[in-house]
Amino acid sequence: MKVLVIEDDKMSAEHAAAAVGMCGFECDFARNGREGLSLLLKGDYDIALVDIEMPGLGGLDVIRTARNHGARTYLAVLSSHASDAERIAGLKMGADDYLVKPISIDELSLRLQAIARRLVPDSEPEVLSAKGLVVNIDTHTVRRYGQPIDLSPREMKLLVLLMRNKGRCLTYDTIADHVWGPIDSVGSVVSANVSRLRKKLAAGGAEEVIHTVRDVGYVFK
């Protein structure tokens, strides 16, 4: 899946990008409506997240113009307003969905995955593989070099998150938000669970795949 984020606020754009990354999708950015419309019409995007409140060419104008030019991308509005009138206006302009900010990274990633399933309903089961690991997300099964590994639902979620972001360091807070939601003692909780997961993945002397980035978080590589 290829996702375009049209958002003029840097923090909100990074927030959306983190959610896209958690899904394992490609992500491009546009910092204003005109740039976003140009990319939307030229690029081959499956999903676009469009902020409504942008200076110059606003999000609703982007959506209306894109639809008038035949764009078939799934267009999801991002807005801090949630009145019925505003939702209806967005949908009338051609939006497929209306997401209200603030929205957590975890919820946005789940929304994107749900959209992707609707766009490709007959897709093959999602399987992640690296370093001898084969993770079937649909059946919740894990094997390493052919040997089954029994993971708890939380450990499975943690492993999938790290594998989908292979090569990218995820902070303790990002991991906690995605796997647990709001918790106390983030560093110790994440570290303890990563330690248990590592032991299971290293059974039989297999190489380490989850690496520590000191005082920051963890990376799968």
Kindly list the distances between the CA atom of residue 105 and the CA atoms of 7, 144, 165, in Å, as whole numbers in the listed order. 15, 29, 14
Distance in angstroms (rounded) separating the CA atoms of residues 65 and 165: 34
Distance in angstroms (rounded) separating the CA atoms of residues 201 and 213: 19
Distance in angstroms (rounded) separating the CA atoms of residues 132 and 192: 24
User: For residue 58, what are its two tokens?
Assistant: 């606003």
- Say whether pTM exceeds 0.85: no
**Which domains are seen in the chain, by residue range?**
2-119 (3.40.50.2300), 127-220 (1.10.10.10)
pLDDT, one tens digit per residue, over 123-158 is 566 789 999 999 998 888 999 988 999 999 889 999
Does residue 105 contact residue 22 with C-beta atoms inside 8 Å? yes
Q: Cα 134 to chain center, whole Å?
A: 21
pLDDT computed for residue 180 by the predictor:
85
